[in-house]
Amino acid sequence: MKVSYLWLCEVVNITGVSPDELAERLTRGGLTVDGVAPRVKGVSGVVVGEVVACEQHPNADRLRVCQVNVGQDELLTIVCGAPNVSAGQKVPVAVVGANLPGGKIGKAKLRGIESQGMLCSASEIGLEVKLLPKEQTEGLYILPSDTIVGADVADLLQLNDVVLDIDLTPNRSDCLSIRGLAYEIAALYGRPIRFEPPKRAVTGEGSPVHIEIATDLCSRYDAQVLSGLNDVASPLWMQMRLLTMGVRPINATVDITNYVMLEWGQPLHAFDFDEVRQETIVVRQAHNGEKLVTLDGEERSLTQDMIVISDPDRAIGLAGVMGGENTEVTQKTNRVVLESAAFDAPSVRRTGQRLGLRSEAQQRFEKGIDVVAVRAALNRATELYQQICGASIVGDVASTARTEEPAAESRMVAFSPSRCRELLGAEIADETMQDVFSRLGFHISTSNFSGSDREWDVAVPTRRPDITREADLVEEIARLVGYDEIPSTLPEGATTTGTRTLRQKIHQTTRHILLGAGMTEVFTYSFTHPSQLDRMRLPEDAEYRRMIPIAMPLSDERTVMRTHMLPSLAQIGEYNLSHGNLGGQVFELARVYRPKSLPLTEQPIEETMWAGLWFGEYPVQLGQRPRAFDFYDAKGSIEVWLSAFGLGHRAAFRKTNVPYLHPGRSAEVVVDDIRIGQVGEIYPETAEEMGVAGAVYAEFHLDAIESLLNLRYHVQPLPRFPASLRDLAVVVDQNVAVGDLLYAAKEELSSGTESLLESCNVFDVYRGKGIPESHQSVAFSFIYRATDRTLTDEEVSHLESRVLARWQREFAAVLRS
């Protein structure tokens, strides 16, 4: 938020405090000031001048020779090329020796005529051109006719102001106004505040406007009818303050509402009262599909959860967001009704987000306003309309609230001084705490105000909605006493050593193992587009196609929550390959989102997975030729991961048939008959369309393996007896998966009261001479060991015969001679 230093000086006494010192004190008090900068740098010697005469330059078609009165004894001759210069105007004049943002002004001779200065445009004196109307930026900057000749333009236009850029936290909505900042600065420095609420005499006449509140999302609505408004420009001082705060001046009718909003933090809106039918305003919920053309000229389609301001026939404004074009104040407007209200903050925020609107008023409503300021801001605006626009008050304020009880001006919060000292770890005297609350404008009830061990009742004004409990008051004590005054102390009391849950340990171990296997972790969006699944050859009724739509998507490419991680990782692979990276192996640990029903009626299933992609070529190493990543690179990383969890000997790789994976080069991974994932080469057509030809993809359900392990350490004694090593080679049909042979052998030898198999591995697969056509020879290495004895040949032979018998029954395997 940008704030005018000169405006602050008017409402709180900060004599002797420079802008930089104020910024430092605000920052130490919890309101971070990101920057302090002069509004316009280096403007001096620029005064108000009156163009007395203006004649054509004898030697130039586009130049004028002007005689200008700047309050000196003699008129100045100034040559000007601005298209809008004419006699009788009052404009900024940079006399000889003046400094402008563009440089210093000296005497100059233009086409034979000496020019004694320069008539200035808005940009030449440093005004914010982007916030000015077009007519004020093309040519000279024309000043009001009643401006005093010879006055210093830097003072007149507040060019010597300093702008503080304050980064407010969401809880400090009170500081979105000059009033709130004034109270904050007064508390920090212990200075008096000069912010008096406006007072208005009650006329006793009824208001011509009738107010109805037909929604629980509006707690109060005040309205004042005014007539006889003159269509005039707002005074320079008001325009300059608006520009300094980053608000575009338009005309007095609009500028006054913006000015009061910045001053009080209470948004206001003016409707053309003659366009409000039946002189009745109704605050209600919108009808589904109801249309409203807002002040920006856009037709909006409304929904039932939006609050609208309406007359008996139609909507005339979006509550807290933007008014309607049908009641816009124009030059023909004779009567206006001025609105000041309190709307539900979450509803205003949702309305603005859904319609893509963002305004200064919405920003204040969605963070919470001070209900006490509703009437005060309305009175202040009425006062300014009378002074600037010559408006007349028509009747008293029409006010309606959801409750007949008047809004309380403060809330009581219990506070214990001793508890405050305990929480802060500092010995702060009761008198110091009393002084802090007094500077903040908080009042302490005297009923419980005796002794440091008793609680105080602190009355907190409604302008501080962030203070609702004792801890908030303790924070205020710390802020104003100064965090640097609180000594550093070690924590006391019992402490508990933190630990991770089983799920967290699984995630952490997975990340460490895959990184150790040479993979690179990536992070991608959880948002995608339904068309990304078209390349995966999925059927139209596939469960993956049931995707959760995003209410407000970031872009047209990310409109739904992803149900599969392959498209996200494929985009990583394609990007790397197209930017000169020859290949890589990446993984992501993230979630996919699967709805139980659409549209959503309950929380969707959020499944945590890790997915990997091996694409392109394996890095060249000494003694090795370049080669593409293949299925076994992925399988190796997966086996390392499974072994880290103690699941390597329990896992089996079985053939699978997945539309987006190659049917002969893919497998599902099963542990104890529970499917935990799959791995395989991406189907050629899919891989080609995704830009990762020949890539291998794997995905595993981390939630599924929770029930399979507990991550406790498993220990066993070192072997005391020698192992028996045996090799077996069998001939089987070439369509038999080697993994199925391994799984069957392990399952056969693990049954019974004692498992003597220590390990079983494949060391050779051969097809060719000596092997029947369409068959293959597979050789296995078995290691047997007992924990209490040395195995005999008979025992080992019996184990071998069991394995061979199982293979013969299930796979028609024959022992190779």
Annotated binding site for Mg(2+): 466, 472, 475-476
Question: Which neighbouring-strand residues pair with 724?
Answer: 784
Q: Which amino acid is at 648?
A: G
Q: Which amino acid is at 255?
A: D
Q: Which amino acid is at 529?
A: H
Place of tokens 């208001």: 207
Report d(CA 463, CA 182) in Å as an integer: 12
Question: What does the radius of gyration of the chain's CA atoms come to, in whole angstroms?
Answer: 40
Phi and psi at residue 339, in whole multiples of 5°?
Answer: -100, 140
Q: Which residues are annotated as a binding site?
A: 466, 472, 475-476
85 to each of 72, 74, 92, 640, how far by Cα in Å? 21, 20, 12, 82
Report d(CA 143, CA 159) in Å as an integer: 15
CA-nearest of 265, 238, 188 to 7 is: 238
Report d(CA 745, CA 760) in Å as an integer: 8
Q: Which residues contact 468 (CB under 8 A, 6 or more apart)?
A: 411, 413
Do 51 and 59 meet the contact criterion of CB atoms below 8 Å apart?
no
Question: Which neighbouring-strand residues pair with 163?
Answer: 4, 37
CA-nearest of 502, 515, 499, 514 to 711 is: 502
Three-state secondary structure of 548-564: CECCCCCECCECEECCC
Three-state secondary structure of 134-193: HHHCCCECCECCCCCCCCEHHHHCCCCCEEEEEECCCCCHHHHCHHHHHHHHHHHHCCCE
Q: Which amino acid is at 595?
A: P
Helix H or strand E segment including 8: helix 5-11
Q: How far is Cα of residue 389 from the mean position of the Cα atoms in its chain?
A: 41
Report d(CA 223, CA 736) in Å as an integer: 85
Report d(CA 351, CA 767) in Å as an integer: 70
DSSP state of 324: B
CA-nearest of 475, 422, 424, 482 to 452 is: 422
Place of tokens 């230093």: 5
Q: Which residues contact 389 (CB under 8 A, 6 or more apart)?
A: 229, 230, 232, 252, 253, 256
Q: Which residues contact 752 (CB under 8 A, 6 or more apart)?
A: none
Complete DSSP assignment for 766-798: E-STTS-TTEEEEEEEEEE--SSSPPPHHHHHH
Maximal CA-CA distance, the chain = 129
Report d(CA 418, CA 456) in Å as an integer: 11
Report d(CA 705, CA 644) in Å as an integer: 13
Strands of the sheet containing 335-343, edge to edge, are 268-272, 335-343, 218-227, 392-401
